[in-house]
Structure 1
Amino acid sequence: MTKLGRGLEALINPGPDTQDQTMGVTTLRISEIVPNKYQPRRSFDQEKLQELANSLRENGLIQPIIVTKRDDSLYELIAGERRLEAAKIAGFREVPVIIRSVTPKEQLQFAIIENVQREDLNAIEVAKAFQQLNEEFHLTHAQISEIVGKDRVTVSNFIRLLKLNNNIQNMILNNSLSSGHARAILQVDDDLQESFAEKIIRNKYSVRKTESEAKLIKERGSLSARKPLENKNELYQKYEAKLALKFKTKISIRKNRNQGKITIYFNGGDDLKRIIDEIEK
């Protein structure tokens, strides 16, 4: 197992094969420590934070916070953000720290490891952290899985959650929806996802119920159990094929009564511009 694969243990107890850049346990003023710019966590459970603060007042901060020295006179947090925030609430002015020299990639990796292994992060926070490792540091899903101790499919499933729109992501962030609900929502068409998410919350669906509903929605092409008054006939299928050929992308036509809509799918900004240019010809 690599140093990063061993997680936080590697920060505190680097192996003999590692260049030891640890400066030992020391004490820093809290005012000298700034947040980790790569920290994936976006919110704290305030009740649990207060419980931790109460424990710190009684027992002190036993496990040092991990920091790295910046070019200025300040230190940036690597691991221990929750303990640091609780120490502030508890009224501490100083905290024990271990100072390590790490790369930006390691800084993000350790922040993720600390939170993911302790299940402190929301599913969207985990997804964005994994995406950052993938896009900014060019790690494959398999490499990320080795770092965080989860299988590759799990990593890929987390990243897929970011295909949901911002409103649905916020529902997950505020814990109105679980990651299990979110994966089921991804099974239905994009234009139905947000309404489906609202329906799940409104009816307090379990994940299993959500999965069965997603299958039904996918089959009938609508949220309602009632079938559209006019089903898609061969004429609309021909129109879809004709438009798909013209715009070189997937086209969906839906019609109910005297109303309907045409959905044009695109892949990225360049593809959208190409389609708009084609429309304007």
Structure 2
Amino acid sequence: MEKKALGRGLDALLPVAAPAPVKPAAESQDVLDIELDHILPNRFQPRRDFPEDELEQLADSLRQNGLLQPIVVRRKGDGLYELISGERRWRAAELAGLGTIKALVRNCSDDEAMALALIENLQRDDLNPMETAHAYHRMATEFGMTQDVIAQRVGRERSSVANLLRLLHLPEEVQQMVAAGSLSTGHAKVLLAVHGGEAQVRLAREIVDRQWSVRESEKRVAAQARDKRPTRGRAQPSAFQDLEARLQKKLGTKVVIEQAGTGGRIVVHYFSPQEQERLLDILLG
């Protein structure tokens, strides 16, 4: 279902509410030869890794065959343009020693530019799960998009968006394993059920070392849970599960309720200075 949704193309995925007015053909389909040094990198590029060997191969192809598909940019003023999609082609063109590159010029907002960059990479399967998760997180924190809106923009199920965002709660070492492909997203979801970052890292290392399947990893987590008593001071999931879910939906981030005697505390997580400011605005009115 998800692949089919992505196949509808970029233009079909951008609108969330009413369709935007149709732009004149000269404005929306303007293909230009633009000097490479007049193009700025995409601030919203979700892909973080550009292997040098892949860029060299693409550069060789550009030298021999030319550019088969224009990059997409938007105007920034003073004769400059900002990339929306096609950063690999732009980087490879520089390696190939080209002076200019064909580019489709579009007029779009920041959130549309970010959605376009993410969608292109999703269509090409260019992103690892953590890159996609960080892109979803930026769409939520920088543009205030809900998980439902993100799902509509990128043509994915809301559950898929929610599951990837949860990976950002894992320790950095585990996230790096997922990004490198040592751990699958299935393994990562299993680790989310383990309490404590140190315990998650230990189990992640063991999964990699022993090459456990997702099923075997689930069995190990279940066995460990049976051998341990519930963590002191932490409410049982059934006690506050519904309230935590409601708070998480309201605030758009992880919320944990901990009980200690007749009191307790509500822990609200944030993952960047921008998200801290967003949460403070909500909580302080």
**TM-score normalised by structure 2 residue count:** 0.73
* Residue from 22, 25, 41 that aligns with 1:18: 22
* Residue from 152, 171, 178 that aligns with 1:172: 178
Q: Could you say which structure has the greater relative contact order, defined with CA pairs below 8 angstroms and 6 or more residues apart?
A: 2
- 1:69-102 CA-partner distances (Å, limit 9, x unpaired): 1133321100111111222222222110111111
Instruction: Verify the 8 A CA contact 1:189 1:218 in the aligned structure 2.
Output: no
The 1:18/1:48 distance shift into structure 2, 3 A limit, reads same
Q: Distance in 2 between matches of 1:209 and 1:90?
A: 48
Task: Give the match for residue 268 of structure 2.
Answer: 267
Task: Give the match for residue 184 of structure 1.
Answer: 190
The 1:94/1:10 distance shift into structure 2, 3 A limit, reads farther
Instruction: Verify the 8 A CA contact 2:7 2:123 in the aligned structure 1.
Output: no
Task: Give the match for residue 91 of structure 2.
Answer: 85
Paired residues for 1:109-258 under 5 Å: 109-191=115-197, 192-221=199-228, 244-245=260-261, 248-249=264-265
Opposite residue 19 of structure 1, the aligned amino acid is K
Larger radius of gyration: 1
Opposite residue 208 of structure 1, the aligned amino acid is R
The 1:168/1:103 distance shift into structure 2, 3 A limit, reads same
Task: Give the match for residue 38 of structure 2.
Answer: 32
Opposite residue 218 of structure 2, the aligned amino acid is E
- 1:200-226 CA-partner distances (Å, limit 9, x unpaired): 1222223333233232233324xxxxx
Opposite residue 135 of structure 1, the aligned amino acid is T
Which runs of 5 or more structure 2 residues have no equivalent in the other structure?
A: 1-5, 14-18, 236-258, 271-285
Opposite residue 54 of structure 2, the aligned amino acid is K
For residue 240 of structure 1, report the CA deviation from its aligned partner: 7.4
Paired residues for 1:36-115 under 5 Å: 36-115=42-121
Opposite residue 177 of structure 1, the aligned amino acid is L
Q: Distance in 2 between matches of 1:175 and 1:181?
A: 11
For residue 47 of structure 1, report the CA deviation from its aligned partner: 3.4
Q: Distance in 1 between matches of 2:219 and 2:62?
A: 46
Instruction: Verify the 8 A CA contact 1:5 1:147 in the aligned structure 2.
Output: no
Seq. identity, %: 38
- 1:94-116 CA-partner distances (Å, limit 9, x unpaired): 11011111100101000110011
Opposite residue 55 of structure 1, the aligned amino acid is S
For residue 165 of structure 1, report the CA deviation from its aligned partner: 1.6
Which runs of 5 or more structure 1 residues have no equivalent in the other structure?
A: 222-230, 250-264, 270-281
Q: Distance in 1 between matches of 2:108 and 2:170?
A: 33
For residue 143 of structure 1, report the CA deviation from its aligned partner: 1.9
**TM-score normalised by structure 1 residue count:** 0.74
Task: Give the match for residue 10 of structure 2.
Answer: 8
